[in-house]
Structure 1
């Protein structure tokens, strides 16, 4: 998940909000989200999981490319009257929905000023409210998290906030899950305060690194549910080992190669988890031993691939950022999950090479077998972010979100369940065999 952060740090600055951004009701009754990107393009997302990048063609007409590919998908978007929220999408007319928006600031852990936003569906009826806990990214959730509109467009309130050290919030960026969980507790209190009588079921949705933070926060405050998207029940160090193994296996290497690659991953893990005080000798020895092996170039992991090309001096210099983030490298999620009685939904990608789901699913199955209220959903051909993909050479290019993923999220927040959800393999509480 640190890989996601690195990509975010290298991305451009966030664009200013404009009249195009919003949730739209189309003439066929479905909803469409138009979101900003880190360039001057826009991105549309449909509730069925389809998505595309919009590039301005002429005036306020935009052309779409499939998913994150460069292939035209034949869908054109024309903003008929942007100021009044009118558009035409793929031959259907659309009107921007009048969602209820409240901007706020509140005190997180240690009094740090955090900035957030509550978005509710139109009307006065009671609705579920989901507090969005985002991952390791360094960008602004208030700017880029499309769920803040996708959920209200489907009748579920959303509270989004910039975590400390990102966007408009104060404080220093951190990956200290304890601090972030305390911030999430404060976010739930603020969401309830703003929603007032409209607040029905209130819970968390944590994506990626948020899958460690949201359950921990749920042990510190009363919530009705926790939804985890492509999160983990293993530690960050175990994540990297599992990611190294899965990626090599997918490339056709056997366990003997994986065992050798783990020597590299374990040495890198020791360097980072010891605050750059240990592990350099082990890493240098492993590099010398395996640096000319044909599989060496294919060692990826979650963070190993970032460190492998560096010299010891470069690691010491660039690794200073890791020290300031206070990453809990050995974090054990199981004691938290073992005592958490809050109903949980874990949505995982079968082909996730950033946060592999195998060991996490096994651990969750052991908790299900003990009677804990955990539901797991494994989406085939889905990777980190719950996107499906195609291969371009040896690289993956995302084409869409998994069918059923967003509807499952919405239904669970509402306390309803209407399967099937795409091709996901669902295991309900009490139905898991002892692993």
Structure 2
């Protein structure tokens, strides 16, 4: 159920005046006019982010001074943060002073599909004028978006409102965790309605931003309610089963294997996919046969995929038992194109060229076919970017470790929400919609 407008307004005033539960967390306006976001991270650490994509991990030093390391590495970067007065939101970052931005915050509960109680938050920039509002749609994570989605502050710091909510079965929301895209889309539709209600006269353009799995959910939700735009970050226009096949192929190509090896590896991926999509009832004979045939091949150890690597080490008995934990009503054969072909809402797809979890190649080809038909889809491919739109370096062992977010990625998101792009955006390759074909 949703709180009354009077109670919501009162709560918003209290929240705007009081510091967060952890007074360090928030968006800060530095004296040079730029913004800095401080977010929770793993354990007792914090993470800072800037709109240009730079980021670092913060660990506490003496007093309330926090030492920063470059990206997700352990190398000091010299950009330390000192909280001069945490409760009042005063800091210095890299020697520049700043203060916490006094956002307009409204906490709420609202009903998702089936009346499930969902917990959300609307954050608007200071002021009284109309602003775009972006409804943030989850990926597949189990974490609380209310706690960990930094976009809820990064967007308002740049003049764009954000509505964030814990999806069912996560954080403070009720219900059972699911990957049923239809249920999640209906929850997102309810979130848009709640965001509009809370924003009132301040709501300008309203749209979705879905990351990863949210790239399936947000476009589907946009077919069920009117929104002004959809932004997809590192999402896919293929099915979850196709995602695993594409990931298997992409990862093996990076290792130097050719298509003949990929064709063999796909037998493993397809068998795993059959097991999962049949709710653990079929595919075991196919998987056992493929494993017996290829387990001693030199490439077998390099088969990863999006989920195949979790299943391949297991026996049939282990898959039947442990697999029960992963039966989340995932629509394994989901037809993304059937949704996108009828969606007339303007869309921006921001993809990573080096995404090994959700490879962008086939998705880009499919989106290009829709652009050629005149659908209002813009794509941006960011080089050297992987899932999460982070750039990376390789460790001596050949493993990736993130260093920053792609330059231009967040600014492009903000500009699209505002209704006009102003390229370039870092080194991204942008493809705009084709003119609608003449009738």
When the two structures are superposed, what TM-score results if normalisation uses the length of structure 1? Answer: 0.95
Equivalent in the alignment of 1:390 = 393
Q: For each residue in 1:78-133, what CA deviation from the matched residue of structure 2 results, as whole angstroms up to 9, or x when unmatched?
A: 00110110000011111100011000000000000000000000011100000000
The Cα shift of 1:432 comes to 11
Specify the alignment match of 1:10 in structure 2. none
Q: 1:61 to 1:431 in 2, by over 3 A?
A: farther
Matches within 5 A, 1:103-122: 103-122=107-126
Alpha-carbon distance in structure 1 between the residues aligned to 2:33 and 2:298: 54
Tell me by how many angstroms 1:38 deviates: 2.7
Distance 2:81 2:298 in 1: 47
CA distance in 1, matches of 2:181, 2:333: 12
Q: Is the 8 A contact 1:365 1:432 kept in 2?
A: no
Query: Unmatched 5+ residue regions in structure 2?
Result: 1-19
Shift of 1:418: 1.1
Q: 2:238 aligns with which of 234, 240, 246?
A: 234
Q: How does 1:21-420 map to 2 (within 5 A)?
A: 21-323=25-327, 325-392=328-395, 393-420=397-424
Contact between 1:382 and 1:402, CA under 8 Å: does it hold in 2?
yes
Q: CA deviation at 1:322?
A: 2.2
SS of the equivalent of 2:341 reads helix
CA distance in 2, matches of 1:70, 1:255: 38
In structure 2, the residue corresponding to 1:409 is in which secondary structure?
helix
Q: Distance in 2 between matches of 1:419 and 1:93?
A: 30
Aligned to 1:13: none
> How much has 1:316 moved relative to structure 2?
0.6
User: What's the CA shift for 1:150?
Assistant: 0.1
Alignment deviations for residues 208-246 of structure 1 (CA, whole Å, 9 cap, x no partner):
000000000000000000000000000000000000000
SS in 2 for 1:72: coil
Q: Tell me by how many angstroms 1:431 deviates.
A: 7.0
Normalising by structure 2, we get a TM-score of 0.94
Alpha-carbon distance in 2 for matches of 1:336, 1:82: 47
Alpha-carbon contact 1:17-1:36 (below 8 Å) kept: no
Number of residue pairs matched by the alignment: 417
Unaligned runs of 5+ in 1: 1-15
The residue matched to 2:386 in structure 1 has which SS?
coil
SS in 2 for 1:101: strand
| Structure 1 residue matching 2:58: 3-state secondary structure | strand
